[in-house]
Amino acid sequence: MKNFIVPVEKLISAFSRLPGVGRKTATRYAYYCINISETEARNFANAIIEAKETVHYCKVCGNFTDQEVCQTCLRGDRSLICVVAEPKDILALEKVSDFGGTYHVLHGLLNPLEGKTANDIRLKELLCRVNEDKVTEVIMATSPTVEGEATAIYISNLLKPLGVKVTRIAQGVSLGTDIEYVDEVTLSRALEDRREI
C-alpha cells in the first residue's frame, strides 16, 4: 500500500500550485522543507506571510511596493512613462539601467474575446497621470502579441489628441515573446529604437 502522509501531501499540493512547478519538483521541495530546522521553516513561512501582508500596489504606477508610493515614482522622471502589462515586466526593464522615467502597470491587456475591456485595466489611472504630471512621452512596452499591439494602439489613439507623444518599443523580439524573457541587450536596443505610433 502507498505510504500516504497527509501533511506531506498538503505541502506537495501547495508547491504544485507555484508557476512552473510540477509534481516531481513539488515533492522535492516538500521533502527539503521537512528536513530543515524549525527556525528555518518558520522564517520561510513568515517571509510569505510578511510579503503578503505588507506588499501592495503603488498608488501611482500600480507596481508592487511596501510604501504608499514606490521608489521609482518618487525618484524617476514622471513626465516620461513606460507602460507595461504586469509588474513582472518591470523587473525585465529595470535591467536596462539608464531608463530615468517612471512606469505604469495596466494589470492586463485589452482582450475583447475574453471580455477584457478598457475598464478592466488601469487606463483611467494612466489618463489621470497624463493630465496631472505634464507627461511628454508615453512608451508602450507591452508584449508584441495581438493583445499587446491592440492595447498599444488603443492607448496611442487616446493620448495623441492630448498632445502626448506615444512611442512603441522596437520589435527586436519575436512575436508572442513575453517581455520578461527578453535579454538585457535586446531590451535596451528595443527601448532606444522606439518609434512614434
| Distances, alpha carbon 1 to alpha carbons 4, 7, 99, 152, in Å | 9, 18, 60, 57
CB of 11 to Zn ion, least distance (A): 35
How far is Cα 168 from Cα 174, in angstroms, rounded to an integer?
15
Part of the chain binding Zn ion (CB under 5 A), chosen from 3-11, 31-39, 67-75, 110-118? 67-75
Tell me the β-bridge partners of 165.
137
Tell me which of 11, 30, 73, 109 binds Zn ion, using CB under 5 A.
73
Total residues at interface with Zn ion (CB under 5 A): 5
How far is Cα 107 from Cα 2, in angstroms, rounded to an integer?
44
| Inter-residue contact 106 to 151 (CB < 8 Å) | yes
Q: Which is nearer to Zn ion, 58 or 141 (CB)?
A: 58
User: Cell 528536513 belongs to which residue?
Assistant: 35
Q: Is there binding between residue 80 and Zn ion (CB under 5 A)? A: no
How far is Cα 157 from Cα 99, in angstroms, rounded to an integer?
24
Part of the chain binding Zn ion (CB under 5 A), chosen from 5-13, 31-39, 60-68, 114-122? 60-68
Tell me which of 26, 61, 80, 123 binds Zn ion, using CB under 5 A.
61
How far is Cα 108 from Cα 145, in angstroms, rounded to an integer?
13
Q: Is there binding between residue 70 and Zn ion (CB under 5 A)? A: yes
Q: Is there binding between residue 83 and Zn ion (CB under 5 A)? A: no
1-40 footprint of Zn ion as x/- string (CB under 5 A): ----------------------------------------
- 3-state DSSP assignment of residue 83: strand
Question: Which among 120, 72, 124, 81 is positioned nearest to 104, based on CA atoms?
Answer: 81
CB of 157 to Zn ion, least distance (A): 25
Binding site for Zn ion (CB under 5 A): 58, 60-61, 70, 73
